[in-house]
Amino acid sequence: MRADKGKIAVSSTKAAHGHSLGAAGSVEFIATVLAMQRSMVPPTLGLENAAPAFNDLDLVRHAARPQRIRLGLSNSFAFGGNVAAIAVASPNEPEQVGEG
């Protein structure tokens, strides 16, 4: 179930687990893989109002949302220009929405 068909669901888990310094990117990547396995998009905690520039995105707020996820992207941005992005694709059909 997509909140707004045609828009990409976007969420961030950092508000839920905090900043774990060098391990932050790993924690975010694990959250991405678990979301894909469980067909559940986690919410961005504390996100109430977004700038109008983000209107084209489906910002996931307040509660997790059941949704089939075939592709995931985990971004990490650190001090000094240390930037990483990992894209993952589901190798097979995910579990039924809401299971897991």
10-19 tens-digit pLDDT? 998 888 887 7
pLDDT at 100 over 70: no
User: Any bridge partners for residue 71, and if so which?
Assistant: 89
Is the predicted pLDDT of residue 3 greater than 80, yes or no? Answer: no
pLDDT higher than 50, residue 50:
yes
Contact 9, 66 (CB under 8 A): no
- pLDDT of 56 reads 86
The pLDDT confidence band at residue 58, using thresholds 50, 70 and 90, is: very high
Name which CATH class applies to 9-89. Answer: alpha beta
Q: Where are the domains of the chain?
A: 9-89
pTM of the predicted model as reported, rounded to 2 decimal places:
0.77
- Radius of gyration, alpha carbons of the chain: 14
CB 67 within 8 A of CB 100: no
On the question of pLDDT at 95 being above 80, the answer is no
